[in-house]
Each structure stands twice: as structure tokens, then as C-alpha cells.
């Protein structure tokens, strides 16, 4: 392939530009601001999950409290009724009286047991209320941290995108002036190895950094100025620029 020397030399600027674009893409993919956002987001989700679990547990506790309170009230009403019967003097049969007294004793024990259970459940509810308040405060704080982290990430990404857009515009302008087959060769090589062209620096290829043997160097030196030379090692276009 033939291409004027200035066309070949332009590939050096294009290579530098593509390196800058790759660096911007790498920076965008490894943003510290993104890492910070991801960390805060994970912490926020974990805290939200814990808060949700506490709320579900509180709903269960509230149901237990309502059930126990209902049972305590039912026992009290039964006890009040039986005690009223005893105090009314309407029961004269000793057997019935004895059975009523036995039932009152049973009701008292049942009420005491229910009240103990209710106290335990209410203590558990109080602890869960405290846990909910603490977790809610944590979620609120993480929500604020997440918003801050997102803003920092978006600013960093916008800065990168601005730089990428500027470099992409420069690249489009540059490639518009390049010989089509030369550009196609450069693009194919860049897609294959990541580097389309490299400057010949002494005996070393600037693309793969490998030193070429004397025979290869002699072949390159003998080639016309407009001959497109490729590295025998990596196949990148070798740019023979004076002073290299």
C-alpha cells in the first residue's frame, strides 16, 4: 500500500488521540465516584431491608399484643362474672360453689400467665420500636449520602463525556482527511490488537515495543517514503518519522 508521508505521519496524532479516548473510557469505567456511589447504594439497600424486616416484625408483634389483650379482657370478664355470682349469694349448692371457686383460681392463673406474656411481647415491641427509629435514622442518612455520591458521580461522568465529545470531534475531523484505505488498515489493526500504528524509534516498534532485527530494519530503510510499512512482530503500521 502507498500513502504520502504526511498521511502516514498523521496516524501518530490519531494514535495519540485514540489513546486519550481509551483512557477516558477506562476512567469512566473505574470512577472512584462510581465506586463510592455503589458502596453507599449497597449500604442504603441493606439498611432499607433491615428496616423493612423490623416493620414486618412490629406488625407481627402488634398482632400478638392485640390477641393477648383480647384474651386478657375475656378472662377478666369471665372472672368478674364468676366473682359477681359468688358475691351475689345466689349459689347455695356447695358443689357449684366449689366448682366456681376452682374456676376463679384457674382464671386468675390464666390471667397472670397472659399478663406475663403480654409484658414480654410489649417489651419486645418497645425494643423493636427503638430499632426501627435507629434504622430509619440510618436510612435517612444513607439517602442523603447516596444523593451526594450520585451528584459527584454525575459531575465526573459529565466531565469525562465532555472530554470524550471534544476528542471524538477532533478524531472525526482528522480521519476525514486521511486516505480511506490507510484509515481502514489502521482501524482493522487497532480493532485486532488495540494499537493501529506506532512510531519506529531506533530499532524498536512503538506499538509493541519489540526490537526489530537488522534484516527487517534494512528492508524498512530501503522502502520508499510513501510505502506503508508494517511491523513484522505485531503488524501495526510503522511510522518512519525523521528524528525518531
Same-domain pairing of 47 and 88: yes
Q: Using an 8 Å Cβ cutoff, are 208 and 231 in contact? A: yes
pTM for this structure? 0.71
pLDDT above 60 (res 48): yes
Domain count for the chain: 2
Whether 136 and 56 map to the same domain: the answer is yes
Q: State the Cα–Cα distance between residues 127 and 177, nearest whole angstrom.
A: 74
Domain boundaries, position 20: 5-25+179-239
| Residue 244 counted as domain residue | no
Domain end among 120, 152, 175: 175
Q: Are residues 17 and 47 in the same domain?
A: no
Kindly state whether residues 14 and 49 are assigned to the same domain.
Answer: no
The closest of 224, 173, 241 to 3, measured between CA atoms, is 224
| Phi, psi dihedrals of residue 198, rounded to the nearest 5° | -150, 145
Kindly state whether residues 143 and 113 are assigned to the same domain.
yes
- In sequence order, the 6+-apart residues with CB closer than 8 A to the CB of 187 are 196
pLDDT of 38: 97
Residue 113's alpha-carbon distances to 120, 121, 226, in angstroms, are: 11, 12, 101
Of 209 and 89, the one with more pLDDT:
209
- Give the pLDDT of residue 152: 97
Same domain, 213 and 161: no
**Between residues 99 and 16, the one the model is more confident about:** 16
Least confident of 104-108, 115-119, 150-154, 222-226: 104-108
- Whole-angstrom Cα distance, residue 110 to residue 104? 10
Tell me, yes or no, whether 100 lies in a domain: yes
d(CA 79, CA 225): 113
For all residues of the chain together, what is the average pLDDT?
93
Q: pLDDT tens digit string along 181-212?
A: 999 999 999 999 999 999 999 999 999 999 99
* pLDDT at residue 91 is higher than 80: no
pLDDT of residue 243: 65
Amino acid at each position: 500500500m502507498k500513502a504520502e508521508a504526511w498521511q502516514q505521519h498523521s496516524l501518530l496524532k490519531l494514535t495519540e488521540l485514540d489513546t486519550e479516548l481509551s483512557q477516558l473510557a477506562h476512567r469512566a469505567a473505574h470512577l472512584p465516584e462510581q465506586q463510592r456511589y455503589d458502596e453507599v447504594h449497597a449500604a442504603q439497600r441493606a439498611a432499607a431491608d433491615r428496616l423493612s424486616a423490623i416493620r414486618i416484625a412490629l406488625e407481627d408483634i402488634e398482632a400478638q399484643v392485640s390477641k393477648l389483650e383480647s384474651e386478657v379482657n375475656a378472662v377478666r370478664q369471665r372472672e368478674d362474672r364468676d366473682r359477681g355470682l359468688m358475691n351475689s349469694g345466689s349459689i347455695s349448692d356447695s358443689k357449684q360453689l366449689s366448682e366456681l371457686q376452682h374456676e376463679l383460681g384457674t382464671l386468675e392463673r390464666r390471667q397472670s400467665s397472659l399478663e406475663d406474656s403480654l409484658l414480654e411481647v410489649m417489651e419486645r415491641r418497645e425494643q423493636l420500636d427503638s430499632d426501627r427509629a435507629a434504622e430509619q435514622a440510618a436510612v435517612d442518612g444513607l439517602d442523603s449520602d447516596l444523593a451526594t455520591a450520585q451528584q459527584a458521580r454525575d459531575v465526573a461522568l459529565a466531565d469525562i463525556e465532555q472530554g470524550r465529545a471534544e476528542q471524538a470531534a477532533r478524531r472525526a475531523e482528522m480521519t476525514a482527511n486521511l486516505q480511506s484505505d490507510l484509515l481502514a488498515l489502521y482501524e482493522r489493526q487497532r480493532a485486532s490488537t488495540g494499537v493501529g500504528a506506532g512510531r519506529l524509534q531506533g530499532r524498536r516498534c512503538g506499538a509493541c515495543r519489540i526490537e526489530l532485527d537488522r534484516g527487517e530494519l534494512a528492508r524498512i530503510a530501503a522502502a520508499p517514503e510513501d510505502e506503508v510499512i508494517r511491523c513484522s512482530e505485531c503488524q501495526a503500521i510503522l511510522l518512519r518519522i525523521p528524528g525518531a
